[in-house]
């Protein structure tokens, strides 16, 4: 009952945010802006293909992180798990829901749940650090090159969040800190969790000296962000242009960071609100920002559809044979 209530609340939030934005922007203006996209569908086609490329590149990053733990998984399998995670991410709160699904599939595949969980966690942390790093750098560039004083606060907040994420990641990798935390599991009611903590801690230890792997994965995260920013830029071109690529590189990681908030279903509504809020800081009309966000949402959903097909195929393969057929074969 509680889960259904929470799901209903998130659906309500998504619908409420979309309804508010439509009432504020105006349906007529939104339709007028989006009608231009049909005449420039080639931009949208290239954007969709690039988004598929970003998914593939992200899977390569995951494979490198697993290799750092000594776990070899074919890239095709990781792509399959990623697509399934993206598909279910459309129905789960925040964009972390897809991480849980792909991590679950990999854990079933490798029978290494602790190592899998740590690989997904490190993957997410490196992505966030890279995204916020780019946002901080871009905010400073915009402030000093264009004199956008309103973005000075964005630069400061991005720098503070970046520092916090780097500190948190360093603490995660600290063997000394994990040894201190291990003492807590001497408490009777926590002692049952000690073996699980030891496995997670050991999995984290694999990254303490994997500087090359972590550095490559950080660069891959920046590449994924670059592709995502170009996708947003192509969508803006399909809608008539008028948005600086520099601004798109600034706001794309910030929008991704906002989507971590678990208050809507699949980020719908929250995604659109973030686009309108951030691009409004540089004078982009709300109807254009909303149109870009809706098309981007459509690209995310379309690119995740292979995950639904893969999940259904695996589900069908796991279904037990009819009793009559099994008896006849015996």
| pLDDT in 10s for each residue of the chain, 330 residues | 666 777 778 788 888 988 888 888 888 888 888 887 766 889 999 999 999 999 999 999 999 999 999 999 999 999 999 999 999 888 776 557 788 999 999 999 999 999 999 999 999 999 999 999 999 999 888 888 777 666 788 888 889 999 999 999 999 999 888 888 888 888 887 888 888 888 999 999 999 889 999 999 999 999 999 999 999 999 999 998 889 999 999 999 999 888 887 778 778 888 999 999 999 988 899 999 999 999 999 999 999 999 999 999 888 776 554 444 444 344
- What is the C-alpha separation between 246 and 281, in angstroms, rounded? 13
C-alpha closest to that of 126 among 219, 242, 63, 54: 219
Handedness of CA 265, 266, 269, 273 (dihedral sign): positive
- What is the C-alpha separation between 255 and 289, in angstroms, rounded? 12
Q: Which residues contact 163 (CB under 8 A, 6 or more apart)?
A: none
- What is the C-alpha separation between 282 and 247, in angstroms, rounded? 8
Predicted TM-score (pTM) of this structure: 0.88
**Burial environment of residue 113 by CB neighbours within 10 A (0 to 12, 13 to 18, 19 or more):** middle
Collapsed DSSP state (helix, strand, coil) of residue 244: coil
C-alpha closest to that of 15 among 264, 301, 256, 274: 264
Q: Other CB atoms closer than 10 Å to residue 209's CB: what's the count?
A: 11
Q: Which structure tokens are listed for 187?
A: 């408490």
DSSP assignment, residue 243?
-
Q: Which residue matches tokens 């830029």?
A: 233
């Amino acid at each position: 009952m509680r889960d259904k209530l929470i799901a209903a609340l998130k659906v309500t939030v998504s619908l409420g945010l979309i309804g508010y934005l439509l009432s504020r922007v105006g349906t007529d203006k939104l339709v007028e802006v989006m009608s231009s996209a049909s005449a420039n569908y080639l931009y949208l086609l290239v954007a969709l293909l690039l988004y598929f490329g970003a998914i593939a590149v992200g899977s390569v990053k995951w494979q490198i992180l697993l290799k750092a733990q000594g776990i070899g998984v074919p890239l095709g399998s990781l792509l399959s798990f990623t697509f399934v995670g993206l598909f279910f991410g459309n129905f789960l709160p925040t964009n972390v829901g897809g991480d849980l699904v792909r991590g679950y599939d990999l854990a079933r595949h490798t029978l290494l749940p602790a190592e899998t969980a740590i690989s997904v966690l490190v993957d997410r942390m490196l992505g966030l650090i890279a995204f916020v790093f780019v946002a901080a750098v871009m905010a400073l560039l915009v402030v000093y090159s264009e004199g956008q004083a309103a973005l000075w606060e964005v630069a400061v907040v991005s720098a503070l969040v970046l520092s916090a994420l780097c500190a948190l990641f360093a603490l995660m990798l600290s063997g000394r800190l994990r040894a201190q935390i291990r003492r807590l599991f001497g408490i009777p009611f926590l002692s049952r969790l000690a073996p699980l903590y030891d496995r997670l801690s050991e999995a984290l230890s694999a990254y303490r000296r994997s500087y090359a792997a972590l550095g490559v994965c950080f660069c891959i995260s920046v590449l994924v962000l670059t592709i995502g920013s170009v996708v947003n830029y192509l969508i803006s071109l399909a809608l008539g242009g008028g948005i600086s690529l520099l601004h798109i590189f600034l706001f794309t990681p910030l929008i991704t960071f906002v989507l971590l908030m678990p208050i809507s279903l699949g980020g719908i509504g929250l995604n659109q609100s973030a686009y309108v809020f951030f691009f409004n800081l540089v004078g982009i009309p709300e109807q254009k920002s909303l149109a870009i966000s809706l098309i981007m949402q459509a690209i995310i959903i379309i690119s995740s559809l292979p995950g639904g097909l893969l999940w259904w195929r695996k589900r069908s393969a796991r279904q037990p044979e009819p009793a009559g057929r099994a008896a006849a074969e015996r």
